[in-house]
Amino acid sequence: MKIVLLFIISPSVVAFIRPSCRPTLTQCRRNGLFDGIFSESPEEKAWKEQQKQEAWEAQQRILKKRQETGGFISEEAEAEIQQRRVKITQMTKELSDLQTSENEGDVLESWKKMRDEGKIKTATSGLVRDSGSSRLGSEGLIAERADEKLPYIDQGYVDQEADFMAGINKLFGGFGNKKNE
């Protein structure tokens, strides 16, 4: 009986005993699908750190200026802001008047003239792209909507024959909309 118990218990006990000799393990690096794509080079890390440092310094200048003025804007800064607002409002009004004009002629030539004078900024002339948002061949994003500055934004063309539901009715035979003959 003792022998039978020994044979039954011994295999299960051996499973919990650590082997004395360890197998040799070799190190193998396993790369995932996106490993290596998002890693940064030392130049990129240095550039990011420089950007962080510049942003921190700019923030410190702003905080120092706020502490000096008690959090209020000086009269000179307020006058400068007001001048910028007046200038932008005037330019926006001129562009809006051009876009909504009811003249008999085409407004494109007038729009081109205003663009050449620098009154209108477009994606190709005047608007500044954000270099920090340039990715995968993109030149970067523009902070403003460029389409609002085009000459025909408020003068749309509507095709009177482009009725979607009429096309569906024609496709299915009109559903009883046929005139009595």
Digit-by-digit pLDDT tens for the chain (181 residues) are: 666 555 566 655 555 666 565 666 777 777 777 776 777 788 888 999 999 999 999 999 999 988 888 888 888 889 999 999 999 899 889 888 888 877 767 788 888 888 888 888 887 777 888 877 777 777 778 878 888 888 877 776 667 777 788 778 888 876 555 554 4
Amino acid at 27: Q
pLDDT of residue 181: 44
CB contact set of 51 (below 8 Å; sequence gap of 6+): 132
pLDDT of residue 99: 83
- The two tokens of residue 165 are 């539901």
- The two tokens of residue 27 are 């190190």
pLDDT of residue 109: 86
CB contact set of 155 (below 8 Å; sequence gap of 6+): 99, 100
